[in-house]
Structure 1
Amino acid sequence: MELRRLRYFLAVAEEGNVTRAAERLGIGQPPLSQQILTLERELDVQLFHRTGHGVSLTEAGKALMADAKRLLNDAQSAVANAQRAGRGETGRLHLGSTASAAFHPIVRALIRAFRATYPGVALTLTEGTTTQLLALLEEGRLDLALMRPGTHSFAGIALYQIASEPMKVVLPAGHPLAKSRRIPLTALAAESFVLIPREESPMLHDEIFNACRKAGFEPLPGQQAPQLSSVVNLVSAEFGVSIVPASVSQIRAEGVVYADIADAKVVTNLALASRDAEPSAKVANFLALAEQARSAAGVAAGGPRRRPRGPAGKGAAPVNR
């Protein structure tokens, strides 16, 4: 049964006259009458009583009318739902984030903007290390991930820079330099550094090491921590010092102080990672909002940055972990 014939049937039933129904539908009376006859033959029932003044519904016609309205409404809803899904306005978006990325104010603003703009999309958040998030992206269990990319590129991954921020030194409150508002990195050359293991956060780890090397020394690795909040707590316990993104200074743990870096411009970037050539409209919508947030914040464009896949769609180069 064609939906078109159901629409024709409803028009005739509601008008009670084939001529008026044909005018309403914008078609000729003979083709409309033929379509109604075809529908009656298809259903093997008589739908209308024909009179000299018009038509009236038979019992079969009355039964069909209620179902026809429901079917046509369902069809319209199905079309609208498919179109909304095609525009990325429904469904679920899986977003991952490293612990350090979650502290940046642009991330909170971006999530608020997405939820307000696309209320029909359920947003699920997963926190993990860079290594864990990349694996989840590759497996298709995440659509996007917020991370600090450094200068790294990844096979099959597109990176879109959305923010940039300075780094700060975090010290135990009892440290001799704790009262200084600005500290040269060279003053930390003999200090033990509390760090997240490189295999868990390669980009942030490398940014810290590169900053120290540019200052002329190799940082002394000390106690390791699984995430930045743990780094701050271990510094508070006087296991050493560390360097963290400025937004992490929101963690006001007792016994720590934060200071600016005096002798170098040490900056860390924040980026969104997605699978290369991601077809999802939801992902495209999130990235468009991220671009707006980036532009509003005055951050220079930094993406997408890709490393091409190898033969048969497999990553030619391993992820730098």
Structure 2
Amino acid sequence: MELRHLRHFVAVAEEGHITRAAERLGMQQPPLSQRIKAIEDELNVQLFRRKPRGVELTEAGRVFLDRARATLAHYDGAFEATRSAARGEQGRLCIGVLPTTLFHPFVPLIIRAFRTTYPQVSVTLDECMRAEAIDGLRNQQLDIAFLRSAIDEEVDLNAYPLLNEPMVAALPSDHALARSGRDAQSLSLKDLADEQFILYARKLGPSFYEATMAACIRAGFTPRLGQEAPRITSALSLVAVGLGVSLVPACMQNMTMNGVVYRRLKGAVQPKAVLMIGLRRGDTSPVVRNYVSLVRKTAKTFRPSEKEAR
């Protein structure tokens, strides 16, 4: 018995008439009658009672109809699931997120948009440092990672820039430049020339370290370097206790910390933090392809809020 024979049986059962079932199936009535008889012979049971104006199911026929429908639904579901997976509409996606990228409004926005567009894809997030993200991509523990710096040296990985984000100054709340009455909204980078800078560890976050150094040099001074912090939140904690100042991505203003005040930078020197997306080169996963496509498309029209744009 083949699956198409089950479809023949179901059509007759639902129509209650062999001729109408044959029209529905696009076949002649005699072959369909023969097929129903062959099914009954194979099962050695009577599935239909013949009536003057059609047929009706026997008790055995009703049981067989339930099983036939379930079998066809399972078969059709398997085919549809396979096609859906091939389109990237089902599967799994593990996303690596660096500590600073979690605060960028684009990251939760795009994750929500992807889950809405592809609700049958299981999405998991893994907070990690840059080196862990690169290792995770290479050993296939991660499918995608939001990064803050390029990975050109990694021949098996690609990183695509998405957005440029302004950096802001993080100051101790009792700092003279943080007090009201001294242009409480902005300051020039040159105003920080005599300050000690708390930097994100160069090995862990080279982009922030290099952006800070380059911006200070363009502003006409070499920064006095204080303690290096292993995480951006650690850098802010050091700022909060008065050990120095720091330049951080504007999105970090979303993180309120006692003892820290943020000030936007004015003037010609405007350091930027880059948000990037990294993935394995040549990854053929339809889920990854859909995600990257949505991310890059959304990034083109993304506009930060007034707070992040300042």
Report the equivalent of 1:157. 157
Q: How does 1:167-186 map to 2 (within 5 A)?
A: 167-178=167-178, 179=182, 181-186=185-190
TM-fit CA distance, 1:40: 4.5
**RMSD of aligned residue pairs (Cα, Å):** 2.8
Change (3 A) 1:49 1:203: same
Partner residue of 2:134?
134
How far off is 1:54 after superposition?
Answer: 5.2
Q: Would the alpha carbon gap of residues 209 and 241 (structure 1) be closer, same or farther in structure 2, given more than 3 Å must change? A: same
Distance 2:246 2:169 in 1: 6
Give the fraction of aligned pairs with identical amino acids, expressed as a percent: 40
Q: 1:234 to 1:2 in 2, by over 3 A?
A: same
Partner of residue 279, structure 1: 284
Choose which of 215, 226, 236 in structure 2 pairs with 1:211: 215
Most deviating of 141-150 and 229-238: 141-150
User: How far did residue 151 of structure 1 move?
Assistant: 8.2
- For the structure 1 residues 248 and 3, does the alpha-carbon distance in structure 2 shift closer, same or farther, using more than 3 Å as the test? same
Displacement of 1:171: 1.8
* TM-score calculated relative to the size of structure 1: 0.80
User: 1:152·1:203 contact (CA, 8 Å) conserved in 2?
Assistant: no
Structure-2 residue corresponding to 1:20: 20
Q: Normalization by structure 2: what TM-score?
A: 0.83
Tell me which moved more, 38-47 or 19-28.
38-47
The equivalent residue for 2:68 is 68
1:165 and 1:153, CA in 2 relative to 1: closer, same or farther beyond 3 A? Answer: farther
Q: Any idea what SS the aligned residue of 1:234 has? A: helix
1:170-225 C-alpha deviation (Å, 9 max, x unpaired) = 12233343345444434444433212222222222222223233334443332222
Count of equivalent residues: 299
**Does residue 3 of the first structure (1) align with residue 8 of the second (2)?**
no
Post-superposition Cα deviations, 1:105-130, rounded to whole Å, max 9, x if no partner, equal 22232222223323333322221111
Cα deviation, residue 152, structure 1: 4.8
Match 2:227 to one of 223, 227, 238: 223
Decide whether the 8 Å contact of 1:194 with 1:235 is kept in 2.
yes
Give, in whole Å, the separation in 2 of the partners of 1:199 and 1:247: 22
Which runs of 5 or more structure 2 residues have no equivalent in the other structure? 305-310
- Aligned ranges 1:90-129 → 2 under 5 Å: 90-129=90-129
Q: 1:177 to 1:17 in 2, by over 3 A?
A: closer
Q: Check the 8 A contact 2:201/2:231 in 1, yes or no.
A: no
